[in-house]
Amino acid sequence: QVQLVESGGGLVQTGGSLRLSCAASGSISRINAMGWYRQAPGKQRELVATETSGGSTNYGDSVKGRFTISRDNAKNTVYLQMNSLKPEDTAVYYCNADGVWGSFGYLRNYWGQGTQVTVSS
């Protein structure tokens, strides 16, 4: 019983900001890493940002300095603050949980359904 629920996507003008949220629910005791990946039409899925339960972060090169990931371990929730948005940021953004422990046992990887982010030029 694990669910990742994303919110905050939408349409924004170039240079604008959005804040994405992803909450994991279920009988979860620990998630090693949570983060965001994105996929534009016709392209492969790519890393946006991840954060471990200990606070270690990793960012994709194209978003460094513009996006900031944060995490609330107690709530099993991860956020993505997206600033200075560009048209090339347009994609479906997927929440990811990597290493999920709970009463069910262990899940190596788990994905949300995705939320659309569109940046107009």
Q: Is the pLDDT of residue 1 over 80?
A: no
Q: How far apart are CA 10 and CA 67, in angstroms?
A: 16
Interval 78-90: pLDDT, tens: 999 999 999 999 9
Closest of 60, 17, 10 to residue 37, by C-alpha: 60
Average pLDDT along the chain: 96
Q: How far apart are CA 85 and CA 43, in angstroms?
A: 19
Residue 70 has what pLDDT?
97
What's the token pair of residue 24? 């994991």
CA atoms 78, 83, 86, 87: torsion sign: positive
Closest of 36, 41, 42 to residue 62, by C-alpha: 36
